A and B are shown apart, each in its own frame.
Chain A
């Protein structure tokens, strides 16, 4: 088991293994995305009250799921780096931070677009929206902190600490915002207590959630691979890789 653990910590092993899995994952992601999108946008029944505008749920909900889950991926990777000094974990964390920030922004953005026809306004100071805004700040803090350090190890440790502090604070922030919202209850439609969905609408949503999980994994692996190549660019195996890639391209250009 420990050998497996050590191998997992090797960027080279990760690069080669993920390279073998990547095409399958890409095909699976694409298939799920196409099926889910077509099913959700074209075949799912129209909502009785919201009409077609509800269909943004097939992007909004999966993106919001992953924005939250992505923070824990980032924080766990940071903790692994902090505790076991595994460099690969730091590379995963570096890859996860901007990805999570982008997903959080998308969740807020699609929510605003959905809010306009449904509630008549782009922005409501609702508990969930405010929590997502806080999450965006937490992500941006990690991204900016990472970029402002020149030393890579220092940046990794500092970001890991920040992500962990954020993790233990997320429940407190979430609860406080929830409480604040009930205290200042504005005269808008409540988000919670939405009517349960019809199975015909729910099934494509499940497919889309699955598709976005695969998509997240795919982009995370691609970002991590780029980070690995960038950090290990002076090692022999990356050089060999570059030389063989170069040879392949030369070969194909010669054939033409």
Chain B
């Protein structure tokens, strides 16, 4: 327990380090490229355009309406799924570092979360472009993005920590999780409108924590306020998740270095 508390105190003192970790990783990934981090944004843009054109025609819905649904959905989903997928290797990738310096593990967690926030900020430009093209005025509801994103990020901290620890111990989970996230993107109402699901299957959405995380970001982006239900889910996840992670970290702290 003492080691965990001292880790947390040391992590707050190492803020400069984990912010640098996040920034430099974004920078590094796109060094010597023309568009830099906007490449990822461009991928999402192309995806939205092509999917928008085809699906709007196949499903016989309005293109503009569909794109206004798809863009906030994909921006939000890309953040939520990257958190989980990249968490699987957050510690494994840092093997050399962890074995050469006595480092509080949360530093690596915050570095990753910070990097994903920076990428997310780049993707926001898509929303701006869309609103300019269709001359849509900004809405006050979009300010909900600030608390919504904050809550999702706080949840991401414990998710990355927990997933990171478990994947360090059980390497098979790394593969399992990336497959599971592929399925999750279709089970969660990312692409399809949530009101179209049959009432008998409503629970698939209602009890899906990823759905509530998604709503906390997607709704403000689309100019709507998230439901109170979404906030309650987000806050409960935070309380339960932090507790489980604190217990897991306390129990495994001494063993972590041996699992590399």
> Do A and B belong to a common assembly?
no
